[in-house]
Amino acid sequence: KSQESVMIISSLISKNASLRITADQALQHPWILKNAPKPPPEIIDRKHLEALKDYRSLNKFKRASLNMLACMLGETEIGPSRRLFNALDENGDGLISMAELIAKVNQAHASEMKNKPEYMQKKEAQKIFRYAGEDSKNIKEFSYTEFVAATVPRRKYVNEKIGRVIFNSFDKDGDGQISLGELATGKLLGQLRADELLQALTDLDLNGDAHLDFQEFMAMMKS
């Protein structure tokens, strides 16, 4: 055993409270900092960029559903997305800006990693930050929830139990179907234009009955 390791253990188990160090102090001890395994650096790659771009291309109903999924998953499921978000959020404001993404993507591009992204210019970044069907100048930063919803492997984690909870939050009358009226009045989606409502239903109503049933909803969540 090294002298440093003996000293830190002695400091942790000392009977004298004034000499005993706290857990936080132990984590900052030079021996711990030098010998503790370092987590691999979180670097954005091509699949993350495609996921972010795909998310912003979805209709508002599907984005809201995926946001709810992200909020229901635990650390085991969202851990990689959370760590990547923190690595990208350079100023710690809880949002990923276009400038932050461009900087980190181009940093990854210069690395030797596999699946590294192409060099990114502002024009390409705008395609990721723009919501489909909205003004091309309407560029919005990614919130933490949006980022996790976009990048977590949803097909792996969505199941009938979770899907049912999300579905029921939209199915206000409990009849097993989500109607156009329920989409229009639901607080989870905010104010929707008529064309947004029709687009959401058209995209997802597989049997053409003007309602979204649970099977159609699950197909959406896994697609």
Q: Say what the pTM is.
A: 0.75
| Residues belonging to the chain | 223
**Distance in angstroms between the alpha carbons of the first and the last residue of the chain:** 54
Q: Token pair for residue 115? A: 């699946």
What whole-number distance in Å separates Cα of residue 91 and Cα of residue 100? 9
Show pLDDT as tens, one digit a residue, over the chain (223 residues).
567 778 878 888 888 888 888 877 877 778 777 776 655 557 898 999 999 999 999 888 889 899 999 999 999 999 999 999 999 999 989 999 999 999 999 988 888 877 788 999 999 999 999 987 666 677 899 999 999 999 999 999 999 999 999 999 989 889 999 887 787 776 656 666 777 777 777 777 777 777 888 998 998 898 8
The 8-class DSSP code of residue 142 comes to: E
